Chains A and B, each alone.
Chain A
Amino acid sequence: MKYSLIIAFCLCQWVGFCQTTTNTNVGVSLPSIALLDIENSGSINLGFSAPTEGGSPLINNSSNNSAWLNFTSALGVGGSRNVSAYISSGITPSGYAIILETATYSGAGGGQLGYRLPFVSLSNMPQKVIDNIGGAFTGNGLGNGYNLRYSLAITNYGALRKENSTFTITYTLTDN
């Protein structure tokens, strides 16, 4: 009787729960991506105005903050990137500096958006303006990313000359 029950139990197992499996593989590769764009990257004009009173300094009240820095960054685990800026063409200013102020991030992006170096005096050597960028996207267009403000600062009155100068500022998204 006991054996009959065991056999019946085994038959139930056989009839009710007999299973076989097969497998197939699915794989997806995500690439490394580094895209950088300046929204409103057209020319801007900055300048000094002559004072109206003898003995007064030059009037320096022009600045421009119409440009926004957008980027998309995808990279492997543990990596990071930075955005640097430099004067890539034009004679390095004499007697004054071009100041780049980078505002805090705002927009519809996400991820590891890095931290800004808020105040940089631009030269012909690349300087970091945003660092520690990971996998991130800022959002596209004006109002997304890092707002950039350009202004001038007199560094040496003695070296100032009446002149019109044109500079090109280049931004680069680079692996750290």
Chain B
Amino acid sequence: MKTMLFSIILLLSTICVEAQSINAIGSWSVSVPSNTISEAGNDYNINLTSVTNQTMIEINVPSTTANWRVDVDKQDSFWNNSLSLWIRKTGDGIGILGSSISPIGTIPFFRLANMGQPFITGVKNYVGIPVQYEIRGLSVLIPASTYNTTVVYTITEY
């Protein structure tokens, strides 16, 4: 009986892993041009903004009735806390028949944190959901270097 139970749990786990998938295609690497500051005495006065479809998200949920939610957070590999990374969705992508997505269209930027935050909800499969990033807080007070973080998208089917 125990063997049977273990087999069922293992089977369910396998089903769970294969039940859904999310892909985020397109990373973003940007350098601040050294001539951004034209007058001695000034600090940066800019934000760095990616193209509107810097990352394209693809969602695949085999269960045709499945609702899904995507949360997003960032995991810093080498980052400076004076820098902030902002994100927004700039479109809806293409969904299959009967699909829906919320919120619709372009949403305002929100600041990414190291804990998951709700990003998108929807029903059924989507491709090409465009995502844009913005980096704020640039300052010459931040040591000159290259800073990296990983944006993590988590899909939950419910």
Contacts and interface: CB of A to CB of B under 8 A. Distances in A.
A76 B145 contact: yes
B40 to A, nearest CB: 4
Interface string A61-80: 00000000011111111000
A31 interface: yes
A108 to B, nearest CB: 9
Given A26-B148, A135-B140, A10 B26 contact: no
Contact of A28 (B32, B40, B139): B32
A30 B5 contact: no
Contact of B85 (A22, A26, A72, A76): A26
B146 interface: yes
B64 interface: no
A137 B34 CA distance: 15
* Chain B interface extent, by class: 35 or more
Contact of B138 (A3, A26, A30): A30
Given A6-B5, A18-B157, A71-B40, A23 B152 contact: yes
A107 B5 CA distance: 73
Interface in B105-158: 133, 135, 138-158
A15 B66 CA distance: 10
Contact of A33 (B9, B31, B37): B37
A141 interface: yes
B153 A21 contact: yes
- Most A C-beta atoms less than 10 A away, residue of B1, B41, B147: B41
A24 B26 contact: yes
A140 B28 CA distance: 32
Interface string A135-175: 11111110011000000000000000000000000000000
Instruction: State the 4 A-B residue pairs at the shortest beta-carbon distance, nearest first.
Output: A70-B41, A140-B41, A37-B40, A74-B140
Given A27-B147, A31-B32, 15 more contacts: A20-B20, A20-B155, A21-B22, A23-B153, A24-B28, A25-B148, A26-B27, A26-B85, A26-B133, A29-B31, A33-B37, A70-B39, A70-B40, A76-B143, A110-B141
